Amino acid sequence: MYWLGIDVGTGGSRALLIDARGRIAGAATAPHRDMHMPRPLWAEQDPDDWWSAVQIAIRGALAQARASGREVLGIGLSGQMHGLVILDRDDCVIRPALIWCDQRSQPQVDWINARVGAARVIALTSNPALTGLTLPKLLWVRDHEPANFEKIRRLLLPKDYVRFRLAGEHSTDVSDASGTALFDVAQRRWSREMSDAVGIDASILPRVHESPERAGSVSAQAAEATGLEPGTPVVAGAGDQAASAVGNGIVAENIASCTLGTSGVVFAQTAKPVADSEGRVHTFCHAVPGRWHVMGVTQGAGLSLQWFRNVLARDRSYDELIAEAQTSPAGAHGLFWLPYLMGERTPHLDASARGGWIGLTARHTREDLTRAILEGVCYSQKDSLAVIESLDVRVESVRISGGGARSPLWRQLLGDVLDRRVALLRVQEGSAYGAALLALAGSGEYRGVREVCDAVIEEVSSVAPDPRDAERYRAGYGIYRSLYPSLRAAFAAIAARD
C-alpha cells in the first residue's frame, strides 16, 4: 500500500508514492509552462496548467511504481505559497494567478499599512504585509481590475486549487493560510478583524484544517483523469516550506532546514508563535498541529544561478558551471553577488531591491561570477539565520534540501558561511515527500507527524565548516551586509523609472 504526495511547484508539479516506511516507490514530474512576466517583477501562471501537470505526474508515479490507484490509501498536497487563485460563482478561474514572486502590489501594501497600521497588521497576523503575500495581490485586482474583483466568490492558494480539481473542496491548511496576511497565526484561524479592516468579504476564504486532517476525497471525475480510486482520502497538506520541513524532519528544536530551490528558505520550528517586531522573518503555523515556525526567505536563490545560465552561459550545464566555480577561491577574488532578482524579503522587505555583482573588475572570470552567485545566496541565507537566532531560536545544525543540495560545493559553502554543520538526508525530495508523510500521518499508521518523521527521516552525510574559509566568510559577510543599505536609495530610484 502507498501514500501519495503532490507538490505544485513553480516550474512543475511532482507526484511521489511512498510506503509505510517512507521508502519511495515511484515518482514523476511534469513541467509547467513558463511563468508569464508582462512587466518587470510581475509573475503569473495559469492554474489549469498546474492541474494538467498534476494529472500527468500522478499517472507517471503510478506507472513507475507499477501500482494501481486502489493501492493508494491517502494523498497529501503541497505547493508554492501565497499565489492568488480567484474563482467565480461557477468555480471557474477568473484570471491567471499572481504567484509568490509577483512584486507589483507595493501600493496595496502601503495602503494596508496606512489603513490598518503596520504594527497592528503584525499583531493580528504575526507578520507584516508584504508584496509577496496573498492579500496585497487581491487588493491589486480590486484596484486595477474591478470587473474581475466583483466576480470573486472564492479565493484559493495554488495547491488548494489542485485539491478543488481533485476533490471538489474549497479548503486549505493552517500553514498555507498563514501566508495570506488574512490569518491569525497565533490562534490558527482566519482573522475576521483583518478582513474587516481591509474590506474583504470573509466568505470568499476557504475552510481551514490542520495539515494531517482529511480535507476531501478524490471525485469520480478526478479519478478518471488521474488513475486514482474515487473516495481516496485527501489530507489538508501544507505550504511548500512547511511540507519540505516535514520531509526534512524539522519537527524538533535546535535543527533548522535550508531549502535552496528557486527561492531560498531557512526554517526552524517553535513551540509557540514567535514574531519579529520588524517583520523580517515570517511566523507561520507549522504542519505539525500545535507547533509554529519562523522562516526567512530569499526570493532569488536558485533563481540566481538559473538566470545566469539561461542568459549568460547557455553553453554550460549547471554541473559544469559549479565545477568551474570550484576553481575560484573563497571570496571569488573580492566579487559579491546580490541575489535580489525579484526584490527581497528577509531581511530587507524591499520589492524594489535589485540584483547584481559588486566589485567586478577586468580580472574576473566566469568562474568567479558563478562562485560569487553561490556565495551570495549563502550570505542571504545567513541573513535569515541571524534574524531567527535574534528571536532566541537556537540552531545547532542545518539540514539542506532543494536543487542546491545536490551540489557538494554548495553544501560546503553553506556550512562555511553559516558556520554550522550541514547535513544531507537519505531522501532528497522536500515538499512532495513531506506531503506524502502528512498523508501517512493522517491515515492512522502512526500517532502523528512527529512519530512519522522520527521513524523515516535519516541523515546520510554531513559537512563541517572549514575553519579557515569560515573565517574568510565572516569577514566577507560584513562587507555583504553593508551593500544593501548603501544601494537602497538607488534601488528605489531605479524602480521608479521602470
Q: Which residues pair with 171 in a beta bridge?
A: 207
Q: 373, 305 in Cβ contact below 8 A?
A: yes
- Cα(358)–Cα(434) distance, integer angstroms: 38
Q: Which residue matches cell numbers 537556537?
A: 394
93 neighbors 47 (Cβ within 8 angstroms) = yes
C-alpha 446 chain-centroid distance = 26
Q: CB–CB of 410/376 below 8 Å?
A: no
Alpha carbon dihedral 357, 363, 366, 370, in 10-degree steps, equals: -40
Q: What is the C-alpha separation between 381 and 278, in angstroms, rounded?
A: 18
From the candidates 7, 173, 184, 240, which is the catalytic residue?
240
Q: Which of 195, 136, 204, 201 is nearest to 170 (CA)?
A: 204
- Maximum CA extent, the chain: 64
* Distance of alpha carbon 205 from alpha carbon 62, whole angstroms: 33
Opening angle at CA 431, ends 430 and 435, nearest 5: 125
- Cis upstream peptide for 107 (omega within 30°): no
User: Residue 314, Cβ neighbours under 10 Å: how many?
Assistant: 7
Run of H or E including 377: helix 366-390
User: Which amino acid appears at position 391 of this protein?
Assistant: L
| Contact assessment for residue 431 and residue 259, using Cβ atoms and an 8 Å cutoff | no
Instruction: Report the distance separating Cα 49 and Cα 32, nearest Å.
Output: 6
Task: Name the strand (E) or helix (H) holding 422.
Answer: strand 421-425
The answer to whether residues 364 and 324 touch, using CB atoms and an 8 Å cutoff, is: no
Residue of 21, 126, 158, 99 whose CA lies nearest to 342: 99
Strands of 61-104 (E only): list them: 72-79, 85-87, 97-98
Write the single-letter amino acid at 133: L
Catalytic, 315? Answer: no
* DSSP sequence for 102-156: --TTHHHHHHHHHHH-HHHHHHHHSS---TTSHHHHHHHHHHH-HHHHHH--EEE
Q: Which helix (H) or strand (E) holds 426?
A: none
Instruction: Read off φ and ψ for residue 415, nearest 5 degrees.
Output: -60, -40
Cβ-contact 233, 442 below 8 angstroms: yes
Q: Give the residue numbers marked as catalytic.
A: 240
